[in-house]
Amino acid sequence: MKVRGAIFEAEGKPLVIDEVEIDGPKRGEVLVKLEATGLCHTDLFTMSGADPSAYWPAILGHEGGGIVEEVGPGVTSVKKGDHVIPLFISECGECPQCRSEDTNLCSALDETYYKGLMPDGTTRLHYEDGREILHFMGTSTFAEYTVVPEIALAKIRADAPLDRMCLLGCGVTTGIGAALWTAKVRPGSTCAIFGVGPIGINVVQGCRLAGAEKIIAVDLHEDRLEKAKVFGATHTINAASYDGNAVGAVKELCDSSWAGADYTFEATGRVQVMRQAVEACRYGGGRCTLIGVAGKGDELSLVPRMLISGRIVTGTAFGGCNGRTQLPQLVDWYMEGKILVDELVTGERTLEQINEAFDLMRKDQGYRYVVKYS
């Protein structure tokens, strides 16, 4: 069938809005009619030319929300009409990673996922002349429909708004999960979040949910710091007042005997800030979680002495979330008013306006733009 989509055809160029052919679902796959998609900085990063693993032509997008239109043979966990969020990390429930309690990195799709293909090694997306278009992050939500393996779909309750729940497909869950599931923030602790943009602000609300006592937001923009207070920040530091290095200011707010925060988070993608987040976390088991994606060739320099005292430095993928089992819980929390999502939407756009929204994101304006398909 023919659907409208935004095709990534060359680095550094706008997406091409055009009709693409999408095939029906094969065994174990599901055709989803998307209601909306969020635009994430990872899409922008892939388009920019800075992503060494980028491939094209492809339909980008990985923050979708939609309704099951058709299921392929063998699909049992969802049916036509179910509301779903496509997941860029699958959850097969059977691989060693899915059976481990330590990781959410399901390996079931590893062989084809990074090549932009479905599990059988082919693509469901084509140009009208038959040339292949690749899938992106296994989700390809910048089109009216997408085909996703069943094991990469989270089924959610039908009374939750899909044009907001789509943001759980990446940014919201990555931020909240980094606090809850990767760092496992303890009640009464002190947390510092370096960078409270679209991801960091969700770390702030994750720390709030976890019961942190002090939540210190660090950013260069005063408006972002103000917004972080709405999401739960108890203290804010404008790093611009400290020549871009707020480590000392964070430590001043912490219990001096530990010389740092119990948990620090970095959500800027800048390696200098990553190092600051390591330095600002306390001796003796302080935990620093790096979330931002650094650019091509960037390296993080740490003095080994910084780790001798027992600091733990780690990264996170999708906030450590096991999507099919844990994402529905986040939807419940939204419906119960425990987490903020509506407040993240800076603007809504049509598919035709997608490049304009990316231009605003390049200027660091706003938190999330949502493209609505109907």
Binding site for Zn ion (CB under 5 A): 40, 42, 92, 95, 98, 106, 108, 170
**For Zn ion, which is the closer residue by CB, 143 or 170?**
170
Burial of 24 (0-12, 13-18, 19+ CB in 10 A): middle
Q: Which two tokens stand for residue 155?
A: 């089924």
CB of 222 to Zn ion, least distance (A): 25
Buried b (16+ CB within 10 A) or exposed e, 248-280: ebbbebbeeebbbbbbbbbbbbbbebbbbbbbb
CB of 247 to Zn ion, least distance (A): 28
**For Zn ion, which is the closer residue by CB, 106 or 210?**
106
Peptide bond into 57 cis (omega under 30): yes
Specify whether the CB–CB gap between 332 and 84 falls below 8 A: no
For every residue of 192-261, DSSP letters joined together read: EEE--STTHHHHHHHHHHHT-SEEEEEES-HHHHHHHHHTT-SEEEEGGGGTT--HHHHHHTS-TTTTSB
CB of 231 to Zn ion, least distance (A): 18
CB of 348 to Zn ion, least distance (A): 18
Q: Which two tokens stand for residue 134?
A: 């690749």
Q: What is the β-pairing status of strands 132-135 and 58-59?
A: parallel
**For Zn ion, which is the closer residue by CB, 170 or 217?**
170
Please state, as a whole number, how many other Cβ atoms lie within 10 Å of the Cβ of residue 178: 33
Beta strands in 116-205 (DSSP E): 125-126, 132-135, 145-149, 153-156, 190-194
CB of 305 to Zn ion, least distance (A): 34
**For Zn ion, which is the closer residue by CB, 40 or 246?**
40
Point out which residues pair with 315 in neighbouring strands. 290
**For Zn ion, which is the closer residue by CB, 241 or 325?**
325
Lookup result for tokens 């491939």: 55
**For Zn ion, which is the closer residue by CB, 106 or 152?**
106
Residue type, 11: E
CB of 63 to Zn ion, least distance (A): 6
Q: Please state the length of the chain.
A: 374
CB of 171 to Zn ion, least distance (A): 6
CB of 174 to Zn ion, least distance (A): 7
**For Zn ion, which is the closer residue by CB, 104 or 190?**
104
CB of 148 to Zn ion, least distance (A): 15
**For Zn ion, which is the closer residue by CB, 170 or 201?**
170
**For Zn ion, which is the closer residue by CB, 91 or 279?**
91
Q: Which two tokens stand for residue 191?
A: 């947390």
Please state, as a whole number, how many other Cβ atoms lie within 10 Å of the Cβ of residue 32: 29
